[in-house]
């Protein structure tokens, strides 16, 4: 886990001190910002707000459960920062927004023809199958919804938000 720990100063630097220009949006967790690591890797940083519904347990849960699984349909965790009052999660940057953005926007919905919808659903199912049966840690997500599915530049789904997940212990 120490290899995943990020320095707060570096995280602030790559997001330009969480500037509004780098803000991608808001979620139940807090705010999400984009940044670029020194190696040019683009990341999305979720910053826990002080008034967030997600507490310490959910934060730890997400770090512990997302750090291990590696699957093309899961958002990859690059690291976390827990310094002072700051709780941050750094993920791979996924170019398109969430699935709900496409489903509930009248203009964007037109991009989701039936073959593409099938591909998205099939790959979400592959990611869930991996979590439930093929991963070394069997994980039950418990919060799968359209807003927790991001779409990359090729419209491949990436499952995220493991704050409510739990290990399947039998």
Beta-carbon contacts of residue 137 (< 8 Å; ≥ 6 apart): 65, 68, 69, 167
How far is the first Cα of the chain from the last one, in angstroms, to the nearest whole number?
25
CA torsion sign for 97, 2, 83, 41 is: negative
Q: Kindly give the pairing relationship between strand 77-83 and strand 157-159.
A: unpaired
Q: Quick check: 65 and 77 in contact, CB under 8 A?
A: no
Catalytic annotation, pick one of 7, 17, 134, 143: 143
Q: Active-site residue 143, yes or no?
A: yes
Phi, psi of 81 (to 5 degrees): -135, 130
Give the catalytic positions in this structure: 143
């Amino acid at each position: 886990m120490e290899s995943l720990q990020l320095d707060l100063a570096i995280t602030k630097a790559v997001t330009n001190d969480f500037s509004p220009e780098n803000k991608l949006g808001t979620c139940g967790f807090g705010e999400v910002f984009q940044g670029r690591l020194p190696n040019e890797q683009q990341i999305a940083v979720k910053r826990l707000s002080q008034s967030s519904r997600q507490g310490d347990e959910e934060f730890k849960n997400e770090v512990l459960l997302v750090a291990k699984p590696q699957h093309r349909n899961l958002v990859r965790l690059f690291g976390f920062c827990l310094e002072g009052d700051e709780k941050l999660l750094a993920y791979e940057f996924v170019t398109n927004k969430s699935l709900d953005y496409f489903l509930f926007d009248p203009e964007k919905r037109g991009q989701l023809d039936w073959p593409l919808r099938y591909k998205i659903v099939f790959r979400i199912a592959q990611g869930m199958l991996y979590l439930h049966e093929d991963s070394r840690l069997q994980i039950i997500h418990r919060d799968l919804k359209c807003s927790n599915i991001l779409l990359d530049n090729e419209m491949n789904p990436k499952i995220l938000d493991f704050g409510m997940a739990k290990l399947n212990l039998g």
